[in-house]
Amino acid sequence: MPRMRVPTFLTQYATMVIVIAVVAVFVLYPIFYLFQAAFDVGLPDSRPPTAYGLDNFAKLLDYQAVLVNTLVVTFAATLMALVFGFVTAWILTRTDVPMKRTFEQLMTVPYYVTPLLGALAWSFLGAPESGLINQLWRAGGGSGALVDIGTPLGIAWVMALFEGSVAYVMISAVMQSMDPSLEEASEVMGASRLKTIWRVTLPLVAPGVLGAALFVFAEMLGSFSAALVLGTPARFYVITTAIYQFVSQYPPRIPLAAAMGVSLFAVMFLMLYGYRRVVAHGHFTTVGGKAFRPRVMRMGWLRWVMFGICASYVVLSVVLPVGTLIFTSLQKLAVAFPAASNFTFDNFRQAFSINAVRSAMVNSLGLAAISASVGVALTAFLAWIIQSSRMPGRGVLEYVAMFPQAVPRLVFAFGMMWAWLVIPLPVYGTFWILLIAYLTVFMPLGLRTISGVLLQLDKSLDECGQVCGASWTHRLRTITAPLLRPGLVAAWLLIFVASVRELGASILLMGPDSKVMTPAIVEAWFSSSSELTAAMALIQTAVIAAVMVLFHRLTRRLAVHGV
């Protein structure tokens, strides 16, 4: 006689509701407070708001310059980043440039050289009066300034160099997903190489590139470091730096900041919506389908031109900035042609003695390790639910979990700051709020990475385990986890680095006991000399680099064991 079984549908449904609710609270709660503050037109300093209205948005009209600045800088930076990304992706996937493998690895380094570092270094290089480039220019007989890094173009340049390394990765993936036989067909018909590129290749990669453009644009909207370091001294504000200013002023203009945050959020949201429509047809993974081996074009002597292009990108984004920081940090007062007596190790000595450096470094690394570990576990769990389970409501969960992507980090942290202030739990100003912020803000990153890995996992490997009689936990342990390991490791590393280099969210949420590196460097820059700041930035870079190398060593050994 067949047994009656309680349908698991109900328990699955209940679990799903709980999971969505928890994620939604963390993701949407700050947004709610953001909106609440934006519509607050009542008495200042009183919470909850005494009156609601649209006045704050009306005041935004007074700050049109800020809105325009933001758009100008974002467009310019996106364009430049796309150019960098497209050219380098093309060169490295389609031509026979020498030292290709080395370059492919080097192309990701700007991501690890945090945009703050890049901005600092380029301010030392490109400040109109004191910039090293301009000093050299004047010494060589030029007048005035060759480069002014404080202009919108200068800021966009720095943004594109460092935050646009994402463009390279995305466009490169698009290039690799194009079937080479399509081009071969064109050439067989008699079209020249150039014509083939124009009529076959470009139209084929266009949707993918457009998708990358939208994504990069959205990221640039939320950019903070470059505008903070380069724009603020030149009285040039974008929305993120304006929000930061409003919050730090006395008295702080929270509702105005919130209104700006909401407007930025709206634009970013639209961009990402467009991105999903164009590229993924609703799914958030960027590349689907097979990866081909694209045809490599023989370039002849042009190879060396390509080499030069790639090399100059690496120089501009890595070598030059790091070199400048070293050069600056070793001087008492940084000039282009220092006398021998100008060199000193004092800055480093001082940097190590400042509490902020020592404890901030340890804090950053610890916090990053925890966020990466918890984050990977969390997003792996979510990714599994969204992709591999058959629970109802998966689409809703995916949408909610990816939502933080649409919010600029600084704005999100603003909402968090405002939200958690009223919670009686001792979270505000401690590590916990930073941890929560990182986990929430990096959820999309982890989800994207792990989902990509899960997609490549053949479902039948798990089904076979099922048929062999293994329970779900047994299969997880013996089949899924080992196969996921490379992907999990990659996600861990990504979240780790993202946590360490994070600025926009951390700067608003950092407390005295929870100092972290990147905002600490910014604080130091505000209140001490540029030479000291350069020393701190270098120490940070060296520590991160050491951790990365160590990590790569460790994971390479794991990979060798036949995973």
Partner 1 sequence: MQSATTAPAIEVQNLSIRYGSVTAVADVSFSAAAGQQLTLLGPSGCGKTSTLRAVAGLERPTAGVIRVAGKAMYDGAAGLNIPAERRGMSMVFQSYAIWPHMTVFENVAYGLRVRKIGGADLSDKVRHALDLVKMGAYAERNASQLSGGQQQRVALARACAFSPTVLLFDEPLSNLDAKLRSEMRIELRELQRRLGVTSLYVTHDLEEALAMSDQIVVMRDGLIEQNGTPAEIYNYPRTAFVADFVGSANLVSGAVLPDRSDKDRVAIRTDDGQMLVGATHGRPFGQNATLSLRTVHLRLVSELPAGAANIWPITIRRTVFLGDVTQIHVGWGGRELIVRQTVADVFTPGQTAFLRVDPEQCILLEG
Partner 2 sequence: MTKSSHVTRRTVITSGLATAAVPLAAALPQSAIAQERKVTKVLDFTTAADIAKAEAEGEFLFYSHDSEPGIASILDAFSKDFPKIKGKYVRAQNGALFSRTIAERSAGRYTADVIQFSEPSTALDFQKRSGYSRYVSPQSEFYRPEHLSNPVGDFFWIAVTFAGISYNADKVKPEDAPKNWPDVLKPIWQNAANVKQSSSGMQFVQWYELRKLYGEKFWADFAKLRPRGFDSRAQLFDRLAKGDDKICVLAEYAGYLLQKQKGSNIEFVAPPDGMPAAPLVCGIADRAPHPEAARLFMDWQMSLRGQANQQDNPYLYYGSLRKDAPPMPGGKRLSDFKLLAPTDMDAFMATRPAFNKEWNAMLGL
Catalog residues that contact partner 1 under the rule CB under 8 A.
2-5, 7, 458, 460-461, 463-471, 474, 478-479, 482-483, 562-563
Could you give the 3-state DSSP secondary structure of residue 107?
coil
Please report whether residue 22 would count as binding partner 2 according to CB under 8 A.
no
With contacts defined by CB under 8 A, name the span among 50-58, 128-136, 315-323, 392-400 that binds partner 2: 128-136
Q: How far is the CB of 462 from partner 1 (least distance, A)?
A: 9
Q: Where are the beta strands (DSSP E) in 26-81?
A: none
Of partner 2, partner 1, none, which one does residue 184 interact with (CB within 5 to 8 Å by kind)? none
The 313-332 contact track toward partner 2, x by CB under 8 A, reads -------------------x
What DSSP state is assigned to residue 310?
H
CA dihedral 457, 168, 500, 37 (to 10 degrees): -100
CA distance 358 to 351: 8
Could you give the 3-state DSSP secondary structure of residue 343?
strand
With contacts defined by CB under 8 A, name the span among 5-13, 30-38, 121-129, 481-489 that binds partner 2: 121-129
Paired tokens of 233? 């001294």
Q: How far is the CB of 522 from partner 1 (least distance, A)?
A: 44
Could you give the 3-state DSSP secondary structure of residue 131?
coil
Phi, psi of 343 (to 5 degrees): -85, 140
CA distance 332 to 192: 59
CA distance 162 to 9: 48
Cis peptide before 30 (omega within 30 of 0): no
Q: How far is the CB of 290 from partner 1 (least distance, A)?
A: 15
Of partner 1, partner 2, none, which one does residue 467 interact with (CB within 5 to 8 Å by kind)? partner 1
In the bound state with partner 1, the residue whose beta carbon lies nearer, of 421 and 468, is 468
The 26-65 contact track toward partner 2, x by CB under 8 A, reads -------------------x-x---------------x--
Of partner 2, partner 1, none, which one does residue 2 interact with (CB within 5 to 8 Å by kind)? partner 1
> Tell me, what amino acid is at 342?
N
Of partner 2, partner 1, none, which one does residue 466 interact with (CB within 5 to 8 Å by kind)? partner 1
Of partner 2, partner 1, none, which one does residue 529 interact with (CB within 5 to 8 Å by kind)? partner 2
In the bound state with partner 2, the residue whose beta carbon lies nearer, of 4 and 425, is 425
List Cα–Cα distances, 77 to 156, 162, 163, in angstroms: 4, 10, 9
Please report whether residue 428 would count as binding partner 2 according to CB under 8 A.
yes
CA dihedral 429, 435, 439, 441 (to 10 degrees): 40
Among 20, 89, 334, 435, binds partner 2 (CB under 8 A): 334
Please report whether residue 127 would count as binding partner 2 according to CB under 8 A.
yes
In the bound state with partner 2, the residue whose beta carbon lies nearer, of 47 and 303, is 47
**In the beta sheet, which residues pair with residue 95?**
297
475 touches 462 (CB < 8 A): yes
Of partner 2, partner 1, none, which one does residue 314 interact with (CB within 5 to 8 Å by kind)? none
Paired tokens of 455? 């997609």
Check residue 300 and give left, alpha or beta (phi > 0: left; psi -120 to 50: alpha).
Answer: left
Q: How many residues bind partner 2 (CB under 8 A)?
A: 48
Please report whether residue 421 would count as binding partner 2 according to CB under 8 A.
yes
Of partner 1, partner 2, none, which one does residue 235 interact with (CB within 5 to 8 Å by kind)? partner 2
Q: How far is the CB of 494 from partner 1 (least distance, A)?
A: 22
Q: How far is the CB of 340 from partner 2 (least distance, A)?
A: 13
Of 469, 539, 134, 166, whose CA–CA distance to 326 is shortest?
539
List Cα–Cα distances, 329 to 15, 115, 119, 322, in angstroms: 55, 18, 15, 11
Residues 211-250 binding partner 2 (CB under 8 A) are 233-237, 242, 245-246, 248-250
What DSSP state is assigned to residue 298?
P
CA distance 439 to 378: 9
Residues 500-539 binding partner 2 (CB under 8 A) are 511-513, 523-530, 532
CA distance 70 to 222: 9
**In the beta sheet, which residues pair with residue 52?**
40
Paired tokens of 362? 């340890």
**In the beta sheet, which residues pair with residue 331?**
343
Of partner 2, partner 1, none, which one does residue 281 interact with (CB within 5 to 8 Å by kind)? none
In the bound state with partner 1, the residue whose beta carbon lies nearer, of 248 and 478, is 478
Of partner 1, partner 2, none, which one does residue 474 interact with (CB within 5 to 8 Å by kind)? partner 1
Residues 347-376 binding partner 2 (CB under 8 A) are 350, 353-356
3-state SS track over 122-151: HHHHHCCCCCHHHHHHHHCCCCCCCCCCCC
Query: What is the binding site for partner 2 (CB under 8 A)?
Result: 45, 47, 63, 66, 127-130, 233-237, 242, 245-246, 248-252, 332-335, 342, 350, 353-356, 421-422, 424, 428-429, 511-513, 523-530, 532
